[in-house]
Structure formats: structure tokens, C-alpha cells
Structure 1
Amino acid sequence: MTVRVQTEDFDLSTEVAALRAENPKIGAVVAFVGTVRDLSDGEEVAAMELEHYPGMTEKALEAIVEEARRRWPGSELLIVHRVGKLYPRDQIVLAAATSAHRHDAFDACSFVMDYLKTQAPFWKKETTPSGARWVDARVSDDAALERWGIAAGNAVRDE
């Protein structure tokens, strides 16, 4: 399974080992782990709650993986995204890519994260000393997606 949305934590070593286990042609593995920061917009973050729309979220993540496979043939990809209440230093997301060569693995992993940050249907609410607030999308995330030739409003959708 290349896409999972779950409340449970994940183990980076176990996930990467499983991703590369079946393919002797893999020469590179790149993994990104996103974590909860304890600071956002100058305020301490006590917790972050991630919500999603079951079924729709997985379908969107699968479309991201398929687009990455189209761009980097031969790459294997994995996305594990957590939902629920998380705390500073908790792992939120794992994006991993394998390829025969390092540049393709780096690019595929970076693409997956740039795409995920703008197109995956997750909603984040931070709890700070000022109260709870929903986190808006960042202009810098849209700009990151555009470097792949995709305008933020024109992302590939799984039909």
C-alpha cells in the first residue's frame, strides 16, 4: 500500500525497509518526515489537530503518487499521513521515494510534499495561548507547487 492515513505513529526504518524490499534496482531512497513545531506565527503551539475527509483524502494522495510515478518512471513512493491530535515533536507525515538514481528520488519526494501541502484535503487546527485557530494555506506552498509546472488551482485530479 503506497498511501495510508492513520492516527498511529509510524517507524521510519520499518517503512523505508518495506518500500525498498522488493526491488533490487533501487539505488536511492529519499524520505521526508514532517513534525509538529512548537511555534507558529510567533506563538507557542500546544497541540495540532488534523482532520480529513475519509475516502476523498486517500484518493487525493493516490493521485499525487500516480502523478509522481508518471514524472519519474520506475520510482516507488509512499505517503503516510497522520490525523487526530498531535503534539510538538510528533511525526505528522512521511513521504518516501525510491529510484535507480538519487536525483530522481530527491525530485519525486520533493514533488510529493509540494503537491501534498497544497492539494491534499487536510485541515489543521493549532492550539496556542491565544486559543484555537485553523491554519491557512501559505503562498510559499503554492509557489513551491508552481516550480513543477502546476498552478495551484490546476493540479491534476484523479477522475
Structure 2
Amino acid sequence: MLNSIRVLVQNDDFDLGSEYQKLLANDTENGAVVTFTGLVRDYNQGHQVLGLTLEHYPGMTEKALETIALEAKQKWPLGRITIIHRVGSLGLSEQIVFVGVTSKHREAAFSASQFIMDYLKNDAPFWKKEQTTEGERWVEFNDKDKDALSRW
């Protein structure tokens, strides 16, 4: 499938409906679409969160996300994959990440989507700094996310 992987790292927000339509466009062979959208929440790891800043290394980050998408395509029979990750300063309830996966069957689409998100939470080259009521703090990885990644 031509252009089956789209990876974007951007400051700007994204439109869920538009991204969903791009996954479906001219695709008659896949019957499953799974999407996930992550948002900035107001509480994390015992801290009241006021906002979030995400940093990355341009070029390296996109390559790492393309690599994980290719790995997902090797593990499951997938059609298209879209990964959009925002960087910069984000407020509460703003969209951070979008993962969209198509496949002929739902099992592969669900599994691949979880696999990609587990990778993003643990190994993707992003650094998160939360603005909290106690000041700024870098977000550390947690055991729950590491355990989720270990199943793959």
C-alpha cells in the first residue's frame, strides 16, 4: 500500500476527523480502523498538573517513530499507520498524540496500536516537563509503562 506510514512531529494541533478520513481514503481492503488520542491531563504521578512541555530532537525523533511503525508492520498484517506527536507547550485537555492503524481484522489493529503506544511511552525520544502547582518537573518513566512494553 503506497504511503502506508505517516509520521508527523509538530507543534500544531491535529484534526481527528481529518486524520481518520486520511486513514480510510481509497482503501477497500482493510476492515478495521483503530485510533488512539492522548490528552494532557490534570494529575500525574502524584502531582497536580497545570500544563506540559514536550521536547525532542528533530530528525532523530521522526526516524525513531518510522522504525517502530515498520516494526509493527512486520509483526501484524497492517494497512496504514499514522503517528502524530505534538511538541512544545500544551495546556490541559490538549491533544498530545494520535495513533491510527488499519488492518483487515480488528485483532491486528488493536495489538499494533497498543504496541506503538507502549513504545511511545517508554522509548520514543521525547522529554516531558510538567508545570505543576509545586513548580516544573521532568516526567520520569514508571513501572506500569515498562511492564506494558515488556509484553511485546
For Structure 1 versus Structure 2, the TM-score category normalised by the shorter chain is: over 0.9
Q: Residue 136 of structure 2 corresponds to which residue in structure 1?
A: 132
Alpha-carbon deviation of 1:62? Answer: 0.4
Q: Does structure 1 residue 19 correspond to structure 2 residue 23?
A: yes
TM-score (norm 2): 0.94
Please list every run of 5 or more consecutive structure 1 residues that lacks an aligned counterpart in the other structure.
149-159
1:87-102 to structure 2, matched below 5 A, reads: 87-102=91-106
Q: How many matched pairs?
A: 148
TM-score (norm 1): 0.90
* Higher strand proportion (structure 1 or 2): 2
1:49-88 to structure 2, matched below 5 A, reads: 49-88=53-92
Q: 1:47 aligns with which of 46, 51, 55?
A: 51
Aligned-residue Cα RMSD (Å) equals 1.0
Identity over aligned pairs, percent: 53
- Answer with 72-81 or 105-114: which moved more: 72-81
Q: 2:127 aligns with which of 106, 118, 123?
A: 123
Please list every run of 5 or more consecutive structure 2 residues that lacks an aligned counterpart in the other structure.
none
1:81-118 CA deviation, whole Å, 9 max, x = no partner? 00000011000000111001111111111111011111
- Runs of 4+ that moved beyond 4 A: none
Partner amino acid for 1:30? V
Alpha-carbon deviation of 1:22? Answer: 2.6
Alpha-carbon deviation of 1:42? Answer: 3.0
- Answer with 137-146 or 92-101: which moved more: 137-146
Q: Distance in 1 between matches of 2:78 and 2:65?
A: 18
SS in 1 for 2:78: coil
Q: Distance in 2 between matches of 1:129 and 1:74?
A: 43
1:97-144 CA deviation, whole Å, 9 max, x = no partner? 100111111111111101111110000000111110000111111111
1:46-80 CA deviation, whole Å, 9 max, x = no partner? 11000000011001000010000001123311100
Q: Residue 145 of structure 2 corresponds to which residue in structure 1?
A: 141
Q: Residue 30 of structure 1 corresponds to which residue in structure 2?
A: 34
Q: Distance in 1 between matches of 2:36 and 2:18?
A: 14
Q: Distance in 2 between matches of 1:66 and 1:133?
A: 33
